[in-house]
Amino acid sequence: MAEIDEEVVRELQDIVGKDNIITDEQLMEAYSHDETPGLKYIPGIVVKPETAKQISEIMKLANSEKVPVTPRGGGTGLSGGALPVYGGILLSTEMMNRIKEIDRDNLMVVTEPGVITGKLQKEVEKHGLFYPPDPISLDSCFIGGNIAENAGGPRAVKYGVTRNYVSGLEIVLPNGEILKLSGKLLKNVTGYSLLDVIIGSEGTLAIITEIILKILPFPEGKVDLLIPFKRIEDATEAVTKFLNDGIVPATIELMEGESVRMCEEFLGRDIPFSNAEAHIIVELDGNKRGELEEDYEQIGNIALNTNAIEVFVVEDRAMQVKVWEPRRSMGEALKAQPGKIVAREDLVVPRSRIPALIRKLKKICEDYAVKLYSFGHMGDGNIHVDVVDPSSITMDEKRLPQFVEEIYKETILLDGAITAEHGIGLTKIKYLKFGLDSTQIKVMRGIKGVFDPNNILNPGKIFEN
């Protein structure tokens, strides 16, 4: 692939202006990494366009000169998907940060990709509306990156993931052509759904420049339950029972005991029953007070009959923030642990197999003398697995791939998958074959070839070159 030369720099300056170009290596350092442990790649140049037309011109230039382009949102990814492994142009969407329209009549919001997800949620809430997807990094991740990764979050058990809310997209292809996909439509079966091909494609097929999202009326009532259990198996049984009884909470989050105790130390305050093997946080929402009360009483009874230690019902907003604080602070608590974070995985298995997965992962971690912190979205079987090497030297370049391969194999044996929402990106490329057969990979490579025949857009991601 071609390097960035002075002529390319001049042409990029003509397109976006000198103020939206970064060439100083020190300033580019912030764009060289995301939240994936141990990865860093300095781009050849950082470009910050403000319009789809500018992105179109950038892509025409890059395609002509065979210069790689890496799209980047908020840099909160955990699979290296926005890292410029071949240098070239790092295309940041940070300047495209306008919410263009909140359409109450059609329950739609039109936004640019650089809007922070949490800000989008707050803006629509001012109008009595609700955008449900809530990745843990919602105060820093961009909505465009959420679409590129098909981000989930705690509310996925009731409301689904990002894909369920994308109604239309404007995209720029690698050759610079601008396409509009669908629109403010709830139904559209006109040909193949290119919209769904782009969602979750990790920035390898096109650059998202405008987004139309479905939104909902804001639920008036919310109740949280914090329920500690002696055993993870009991927590799983309780969740299975109340879901089978027809109660579908907005969230069902799990924090395994080691994670609870880590957060207790990090926050410097006592967490009730932190010695329990599992805590679950259940969030109920709705507009009918009586139904919420009936649901939380039923969940409480099921939990207590399934060996829950206690059931805390929290309706006060300030206390709800406190209940969620350990779960929301997990990432920062991990960074504060002595040693080195060597793996941050997002495995997914059928919900009933969560206890078996965690037991197997604990055994593997014991064999490698590393510490396991597991937590995540119990309602949909998505468990985040963060691993810390206390010595900072146990997991060398040989042992870490062996370790990762072992946990992926155990996950597959439980009918799971190696990533639920972080994506394949850079870190999981060689393990793609664990989850997909050769025909599926061939078809996906074919799609990439149609969109990006010169392989300039986010090269080195998802597939081995």
3-state SS string over 138-203?
A: CCCCEHHHHHHHCCCCCCHHHHCCHHHHEEEEEEECCCCCEEEEECCCCCCCCCCCHHHHHCCCCC
CATH architecture of the domain formed by 99-217: 2-Layer Sandwich (3.30)
Ranges under pLDDT 50 in the chain? none
Q: Report the C-alpha gap between 144 and 98 in whole angstroms.
A: 12
Q: What is the pTM of this model?
A: 0.95
Residues 258-275: pLDDT tens digits? Answer: 999 999 999 999 999 999
Domain 99-217 shares a fold with domain 221-331? no
Q: Report the C-alpha gap between 83 and 96 in whole angstroms.
A: 19
C-alpha Rg value of the chain to the nearest Å: 23
Which CATH number fits the domain 6-94, given the four candidates 3.40.710.10, 3.30.420.310, 3.30.43.10, 2.60.40.10?
Answer: 3.30.43.10
Which CATH number fits the domain 221-331, given the four candidates 1.10.287.70, 3.30.70.2190, 3.30.70.2860, 1.10.10.10?
Answer: 3.30.70.2190
CATH architecture of the domain formed by 337-435: 2-Layer Sandwich (3.30)
Residue 148 contacts residue 203 (beta carbons within 8 Å): yes
Q: Which one, of 462, 257, 433, 427, lies nearest residue 342 by Cα?
A: 427
Kindly list the domain boundaries of the chain, sorted by start residue.
6-94, 99-217, 221-331, 337-435
Task: Retrieve residue 381's tokens.
Answer: 């079987």
Long-range contacts of residues 311-316, Cβ cutoff 8 Å, at least 24 apart: 311/225, 311/226, 311/227, 312/225, 312/226, 312/227, 312/272, 313/223, 313/224, 313/225, 314/223, 314/224, 314/225, 314/226, 315/222, 315/223, 315/224
Q: What's residue 397's pLDDT?
A: 83
Q: What's residue 2's pLDDT?
A: 76
Q: Report the C-alpha gap between 205 and 171 in whole angstroms.
A: 9
Q: What's residue 84's pLDDT?
A: 98
87: left (phi over 0), alpha (psi -120 to 50) or beta: left
Q: Report the C-alpha gap between 436 and 293 in whole angstroms.
A: 44
Three-class secondary structure assignment of the chain: CCCCCHHHHHHHHHHHCHHHEECCHHHHHHHCCCCCCCCCCCCCEEECCCCHHHHHHHHHHHHHHCCCEEEECCCCCCCCCCCCCCCCEEEECCCCCCEEEEECCCCEEEECCCCEHHHHHHHHHCCCEECCCCCCCCCCCEHHHHHHHCCCCCCHHHHCCHHHHEEEEEEECCCCCEEEEECCCCCCCCCCCHHHHHCCCCCCCCEEEEEEEECEECCCEEEEEEEEECCHHHHHHHHHHHHHCCCCCCEEEEEEHHHHHHHHHHHCCCCCCCCCCEEEEEEEEECCHHHHHHHHHHHHHHHHCCCECCCEEECCHHHHHHHHHHHHCHHHHHHCCCCEEEEEEEEECCHHHHHHHHHHHHHHHHHHCCEEEEEEEHHHCEEEEEEEECCCCCCCCCHHHHHHHHHHHHHHHCCCECECCCCCCCCCHHHHHHHCCHHHHHHHHHHHHHHCCCCCECCCCCCCC
